[in-house]
Amino acid sequence: MEILFSNHRDLDHYEKLHPALKEVLAWLHEYLPRSKTSRLIYTSIFRHYKDEIAQGRSGVHGCDPPRAADIVVICTDGKPYEQDEYTNLGILINSVWYYGDGGKHQVAFAAPHGTGLHLHLQVREKGTQKRA
Ligand SMILES: [Zn+2]
């Protein structure tokens, strides 16, 4: 499976990701090739905290180390995932990974938000882990 970055800056941030997010992504990199997908594109990792807050967002993309990543998935037939596929992938990820705050937030957020179809992934500063 090919892993790409929309923004070159995100490649640098990818290397510095929060360790728990790296674990989630490593799991995803193992899972996706077995599900008729050929490409994973990181469309956004780091965004400046002040800009995020000014736009009414949570700021999780502006943390240091980065605790969030937005992804787009491309199938082996060349088509990008549709909403229901992001929804299903999000359900799967959240069944495997526990965000860590008693259910208030989740690791994967698939509901339409921001720019275009994508899946938002995030981890908590402490406590995100694989479910037993
Ligand atoms: Zn996001």
| Distance (Å) from CA 57 to ligand 1 centroid | 9
| Distance (Å) from CA 44 to ligand 1 centroid | 7
Look at residues 82, 66, 69, 65 and name the one whose alpha carbon lies nearest to residue 120. Answer: 69
Residue 76 confidence (pLDDT): 95
| Distance (Å) from CA 17 to ligand 1 centroid | 14
Q: How far is CA 129 from the centre of its chain?
A: 15
| Distance (Å) from CA 61 to ligand 1 centroid | 7
| Distance (Å) from CA 36 to ligand 1 centroid | 24
CA atoms of 115 and 50, how far apart (whole Å)? 19
Whole domain around residue 65: which residue ranges? 2-130
pLDDT > 90? residue 38: yes
Give Dmax over CA atoms of the chain in angstroms.
40
Residue 41 confidence (pLDDT): 97
Amino acid at 70: D
Q: Structurally, how many domains does the chain consist of?
A: 1
| Per-residue model confidence as pLDDT tens digits over 66-125 | 999 999 999 999 999 999 999 999 999 999 999 999 999 999 999 988 889 999 999 999
| Distance (Å) from CA 120 to ligand 1 centroid | 4
Q: DSSP letters along 16-36, please? A: T--HHHHHHHHHHHHHGGGGT
Residue 8 confidence (pLDDT): 87
